[in-house]
Structure 1
Amino acid sequence: MAKPEWEFTDYRKFEATPFSSVKGLSERIIAKDPVMNVATRILQFEPGTDTSPNGIQIHDFWEELYIIEGSIIDLELNEEFSQGMVACRPPGMKHGPWKSPNGCKIFEVRYYSK
């Protein structure tokens, strides 16, 4: 089994690791497959976070997301996404960059599909 087995656990048990490229953005990895380089994580945008330094994102895996609280603004689409909204992004889909004036917490699952 590449990912660990967890029964319900407080997400705060997992260390918040800040991104060096974006001030105010961090992740809590719940499970990761280092061979496939996919993960389940919680992304945390502190109020005022701007991911513009990372530019538009495109990757070769699927992403499914649920906004737990707060909101983010997609700067390319000029659209705000908020608590309770979901996304399903196939490989190759362009998305971002984002700003989060008031902060945001997102549950994300990344995987490959045959």
Structure 2
Amino acid sequence: MREEHEFFPTSDIAWQPATRGVTERVLSRDPDTATLTRIARWEPGLETEGVLRHDFHEEVYLLEGDLTDLTLDQTFRAGDFASRRPGMPHGPYRTENGCVMLEIRTSS
């Protein structure tokens, strides 16, 4: 079951390494599933490899920066939003200036 939290400053959570070039602040998580809410920060110049697919629903809101989907040849910026069903192909990605995103993953 996902943890409960009342309002708190997200800056109280330290940035932790997630994957190459990405750090995260995990705001809440269900330890038994892929369900989580996090803020992810991608460093400038990061480029991912391959098309991504996963078995959870994902919603992403760009808070800062830029994110280019190399398959779509389209750049997204702060204020853009994505909602992906399990199995939906997306990426690979590149960010020129880095980006910060709110990501919500929900297990099906």
What number of residue pairs does the alignment pair up? 108
Counterpart in the other structure of 1:65: 60
Q: Conserved in 1, the CA contact under 8 Å of 2:42 and 2:99? A: yes
Structure 1 length as normaliser, TM-score? 0.86
Which blocks of at least 5 consecutive residues in structure 2 are unaligned? none
**1:19, 1:7 → 2: CA distance?**
25
Counterpart in the other structure of 2:93: 98
Instruction: Please identify runs of 4+ aligned residues in structure 1 that moved more than 4 A.
Output: none
Aligned identity (percent) is 41
**1:9, 1:93 → 2: CA distance?**
33
- 1:35 is the counterpart of 2:32: yes
**1:27, 1:89 → 2: CA distance?**
20
Counterpart in the other structure of 1:4: 3
Deviations 1:14-71 (A, max 9, x none): 2222234x2x21111111111112210011011111122xx21101110011111111
RMSD: 1.3
Structure 2 length as normaliser, TM-score? 0.91
Name the SS of the counterpart of 1:57 in structure 2: coil
Once structures 1 and 2 are overlaid, which stretch shifts more, 5-14 or 28-37?
A: 5-14
Which blocks of at least 5 consecutive residues in structure 1 are unaligned? none
1:75 Cα deviation after fit: 1.2
